Structure 1
Amino acid sequence: MSPLKDISYIINELAEDRESYFNAIAPPIMQSSNFAFKSIAALRTAFEDEMGGYLYSRGLNPTGDILRKKLAALDQAEDCLVFGSGAAAIFAGVLANVKAGDHIVSVKSPYTWAQKMFDVILPRFGITTTYVDGTDTKNFEAALKPYTTLIYLESPNSWTFAIQDLKEVVALAKAHNIVTMIDNSYCTPIYQRPIALGIDLSMQTATKYISGHSDTLGGVLSGSHIMIKKIFDSEYLNVGSGISPFNAWLLLRGLRTLPARLERITVTTKKVLEFLKTHPKIDKVLFPLDASFPQYQLARTQMDGACGLMTITLKNGTMESITRFCESLRHFFIAVSWGGHESLVIPKCAGLLPGDFDKDNIEHQYIRIYTGLEEPTYLIDDLNQALNGI
């Protein structure tokens, strides 16, 4: 990654033309739907290339543009687009790289709305998807077809933290002229840089660590100028899924403190992890940068850090004991997502009816914990009392 001073420059100075807005430290919210032109010739030029300037905020907006340029630089990408949500970014990135009759190879159990697209929407157009265990690159190779156009990755994923060897997958994809796309939400560009490893499109949900305040949604799609322009001219403008000026401003605010928040969360997570590993009621802890993790060496190779998110299982976990543990926590909210200031917990069995719980299915026992910005002892004491009560 760039030296810390470069990250500081990106966050605080890049793309900020303060003299244009009265030398204000914080950029203004350009809450305008459209923009005026001094001549028909200038308007005609804007029609010819809407990405070349400001025409209509369905496309580019000055507030969003500041954010877009900063996020592209963090990703070490030539360009990027910012969407209203991570799901919208996934939709546009995938749709731009498939056509009727094509084939996709995806890691198994991707993010819910990625899988919904693969299983429900794309089959309407004859586009099929094969799911593979991405921990072995050979599985991607075995699944390829002559009409495979996209490999979809999620490394690490957000429950088991399964990792793909990105360099190996990139080499395979380039040999077959296949586009690669990754969900990099877990690491952010601070802890993992897929573009530098050769991935074509890197996506992250800005809702999480970029925002950091659990008060806005956003999705980021980074790649080459050619790829991003292709998406902008079609999927981005047609669907109208670009971020609003106000939400872009909120993400700019969150971005200012991203390194500091990640550093604090990382320190807290390590302390919480060590506590959980030694508690007698805990059976297993999954965390990609813990030495017990099955892919620990690969994680160390392609990730600079991991923070906030871990998965645990209880000894002799049942629907009742998992529910009691989660509901006994006083300082962890039961909620989806992660990356905000607040600590969270969510059990996998929340998506199951009680009669469908299978104690022999390890995935049914997963409890995902996110550590936020609270003091470590505050969280550890809460986890301890909840565990001791089951």
Structure 2
Amino acid sequence: MELSYILNELGEDRELYFNAVAPPILQTSNFAARSVADLRHMLQHEPEAHLYTRGNNPTVTILEKKIAALEGAEHAIAFGSGIAAVSAAVLSQVNTGDHVVCVKKPYTWTNTLMKRFLPRFGVEVTMVDGTDPENYRNAIKLNTRLLYLESPNSYTFELQDIAAVVAIAKEHNCKTIIDNSFASPVNQNPIAFGVDLVVHSCTKYIGGHSDTMGGIVCGSRETINRIFEREYMTLGAILSPHDAWLLIRGLRTLPVRMERIAASTSKVVDFLVKHPKVEKVHFPLLSSHPQYNLAQKQLRNNTGQFSVLLKTENIKKVEAFCDRLQHFLMAASWGGHESLIYPIAASYTDHGLKPTLPFNLVRFYIGLEDPEYLIRDIEQALEEI
């Protein structure tokens, strides 16, 4: 299916809404039936019918069709946030007494789900270094039901060999889920490698404007319908029609934005790699990266995230560098038009809290600004180191 068709035409039955170029926001909670027989049909076919917006809404359905097609999936279901999508996907695959193998250092709230939430309900979780697929194999038990990937994973951006992990999962009759937010569906399609469920934080690249939140799960129609009937309808973490409309708008420019972000990020990374005050750059598409060949195999292009280790043992100098940046916002998310930093130093406190990541690690996200403009800003801020 052509990318241009997916982004501009798929799911958009314009004759149903006065041939409007932009789909309408169907801001309704309810849909009326014409007869008892009609209502009976809607109730019996709720995964496809429009009965109640907590289940299906036409604006949200357009978004789901487009992202499913972008990922090469049969079907998709949208949620109100990325972690809602992750949680529903994971919960759909496990029961009390089951075991999950998850990559180390995933997204913060995925980490909380794995380490704090699932154990409360009798689900055991083992965290592994995902750079070696054999670590997944070695962690599998008789009760293992799910292997969870996030490739590249958060903050230091190590990759997992998706095809190898999927092969291990199939050998042991386990399901696989991957968070594909880092790459976006433009740059990586894990279903092509055999992954069962792909999740995204739509808040990031898919939205692209830092003005809405959302999440999505993509997979087979059978699996998505089962999530709809259980986790989705029960927990109610739905995406609003207005947010779906904003995400559809974001999809229109996704390939153009990703191309610009990739080009700018490469220039900024090249500058930082050569700078004497930078100890290390974590970026999988650097030719010096130990997983560079795997990155080339799995990723079509680089994206806007990387992290740097600043060459200092003084946390105050790290803070001074971050505070001196003039054109990078300091914020927790990424994927919008604006460039951002997230300093790990902010997680260190006077009360002795010491995260597993070093305080001199700073995560960068490169947005749509001119790269030279950003490089000049980083250069002057590095005078603090």
1:140 shift after superposition? 0.6
Instruction: Name the CA distance, whole Å, in 1 between partners of 2:352 and 2:144.
Output: 36
Matched, 1:192 2:188: yes
Instruction: Name the CA distance, whole Å, in 2 between partners of 1:213 and 1:112.
Output: 22
Contact 1:342-1:371 at 8 Å conserved across structures: yes
Letter in 1 for 2:360: Q
Instruction: Name the CA distance, whole Å, in 2 between partners of 1:231 and 1:362.
Output: 35
Map of 1:373 onto structure 2: 368
Matched, 1:304 2:300: yes
RMSD, aligned CA: 1.4
Residues 1-390 of structure 1 mapped to structure 2, 5 A cutoff: 6-354=2-350, 356=352, 363-390=358-385
1:276 shift after superposition? 0.9
Instruction: Name the CA distance, whole Å, in 1 between partners of 2:354 and 2:124.
Output: 30
Contact 2:312-2:318 at 8 Å conserved across structures: no
Letter in 1 for 2:276: P
Instruction: Name the CA distance, whole Å, in 2 between partners of 1:282 and 1:147.
Output: 45
Superimposed CA distance per residue, residues 265-322 of structure 1 (whole angstroms, 9 cap, x where no aligned partner): 1110011111111122111111110011111111111111121111101112421111
1:354 shift after superposition? 4.2
| Unaligned 5+ runs, structure 2 | none
1:357 shift after superposition? 7.6
Shifted more, 222-231 versus 113-122: the winner is 113-122
Tell me the secondary structure at the aligned position of residue 129 of structure 1. Answer: strand
Contact 1:319-1:357 at 8 Å conserved across structures: no
Q: Percent identity?
A: 52
1:149 shift after superposition? 0.5
Letter in 2 for 1:158: S
Rate the CA distance shift 1:274–1:172 in 2: closer, same or farther, 3 A.
Answer: same
Rate the CA distance shift 1:139–1:41 in 2: closer, same or farther, 3 A.
Answer: same
Tell me the secondary structure at the aligned position of residue 50 of structure 1. Answer: coil
Superimposed CA distance per residue, residues 31-60 of structure 1 (whole angstroms, 9 cap, x where no aligned partner): 000101111111111112211210000011
1:355 shift after superposition? 6.1
Contact 2:105-2:154 at 8 Å conserved across structures: no
Contact 2:347-2:354 at 8 Å conserved across structures: no
1:112 shift after superposition? 1.4
1:125 shift after superposition? 1.7
1:158 shift after superposition? 2.3
Contact 1:268-1:371 at 8 Å conserved across structures: yes
Superimposed CA distance per residue, residues 79-120 of structure 1 (whole angstroms, 9 cap, x where no aligned partner): 001100000001100001100110000001211111211222
Instruction: Name the CA distance, whole Å, in 2 between partners of 1:23 and 1:48.
Output: 31
Rate the CA distance shift 1:219–1:241 in 2: closer, same or farther, 3 A.
Answer: same
Instruction: Name the CA distance, whole Å, in 2 between partners of 1:178 and 1:187.
Output: 24
Superimposed CA distance per residue, residues 133-175 of structure 1 (whole angstroms, 9 cap, x where no aligned partner): 0111111111001010011100001211111111111111011
Scaled by the length of structure 2, what TM-score is found? Answer: 0.98
| Unaligned 5+ runs, structure 1 | none
Scaled by the length of structure 1, what TM-score is found? Answer: 0.96
How many pairs are equivalent?
385
